[in-house]
Structure 1
Amino acid sequence: MRTTLAALAVLGLLVGCSSASGDNSKVAATPTFPITVGGTVPVPTITPSTAKPTDAAEPPDQPEQATAPPPAAAGPVSARNLPAADKLGSGSKTYTDPGGAEEGFLGNQTWTRKRDAHQAAFEALPVGCSGKLPSGSLPVPLHALQGAYRTGEDKAATTLLLRFADPERASAYFSGYKARMTACGSTADAQLAVQRLWADDAAVASVRRYAEAGAFVEVSVLTGSTVALLAAESADPAKQADWARSVVPALQAVIDLP
């Protein structure tokens, strides 16, 4: 459900105002020069970089490709790591998103889909803010899985799971995400305004208000090596602080299961 993930970018639920200093660890494309024959000038051949992405605060070199329906699981992360729909409130249910050209992905006939981990982690950061965001690199997760729901009010909701190599990397990403959300600002005429509802050491709830996409309540949780971002569309998000707290235990119980 691209609308909600536009809210996580849109996780993400996952989409710049996200700014970071240059990633010195990226390996540039390396020119390789053929042997010169007969005194002619060698023409460099560009060899694409094979380095793995190292900074989730920078967009990936290649965006996600919608050439085939994505898998329903992302490595060890599957539907069992997402909260059951009834844990999100009365009347909530899973939703099989058909995808399409506008959404940017092809449907896979189920409610979960694998995401490109770098793309998802980048899109989860706030974009279009009035405030100046912190610089600095953020860890890239190993796996990303997105689940789609509909609330009891038939509003869109998304949970994005980001599974990192270890708890230290997960914590570093979570801290960077929180810092950027705090710095985003709540200016009404900005593309994106962020209002903090509450925050704990390992969980935070905010309201994202998009100039063109409405408002979303976003609950983010850190457990072990996993960060989860749940975004739910709402007509009155400022009154949903208690709901946001109520879903934290459901997320904590499953997101980091092996």
Structure 2
Amino acid sequence: MKGPCTPCTTPAALTRIGCLCAMSCALACVCAPLRAQTSTFNGAVALSSQLVDRGLAITPATPILQAAASWTSASGWSAGVSGALQTRDPGHLSEGLAQVSRAWSLSSAWQMQADLLYYDYPGNERARLFDRTEAGIDWIYRDVLTVGLSATSMTHGADHQPRGAADVDFHWPLAGHFSLALGAGVAQYLVSPYDSYGYVHRPPPGVYGYGHAGLFWSHGAWRIELDRIATDPAVTRHGGNLVAQPWVGTVSWSF
């Protein structure tokens, strides 16, 4: 459940529900570099009901327009950029992301991917303290199970000590173009909700859990997903604006 709109990331990274504009092509971006004979370019656009990162709300519950573009090579390298903005405030970018990845085939069933990501929230006052650099590694079993570990360093402030996170994601195809999506994770707080928004009387514990359960329909370039978000009760009690809506929906189109 890592989370934000990553154009060529693994399913685990896309458990950041707010960045689902690229989820429709996530599996292809992981696997294509290992099978393709030439370099390829991919893109996606999407509309989501909220931007959520590892169970925490990055934007208010408002329509979020997202776009992503990625490049993958036959040698396993990929790179991409993505952006998101609130449709009610289109003049300010709510989130920008750049990513470089390298994928390897470990066996006929297992793959591994290493990622380096940079997050920036230039027009998002709510999430400005979440600007960061993140390094991660994921193990993928037959495009069904993904296990990921990551370390994050904050861009602003004096505390650049790495924060860790671990995620597990599961995708299972059902009948009629439907699939089940489940995910869970645990992470250290990137910043204290007290420092970010001033809505709590004391900082929450340093580690919190999160998860989601969802159903998505995909056909061709189109994908529709609805996810139920679950976050550690400590966030609900003390998080103020960090609390995400219980349901997040996304419609995306990839090309």
Do both proteins adopt the same fold according to a TM-score greater than 0.5, normalized to the shorter chain?
no
Structure with bigger helix share is 1
Report which structure shows greater RCO (CA 8 Å, sep ≥6). 1
Question: TM-score w.r.t. structure 2 length?
Answer: 0.31
Question: TM-score w.r.t. structure 1 length?
Answer: 0.31
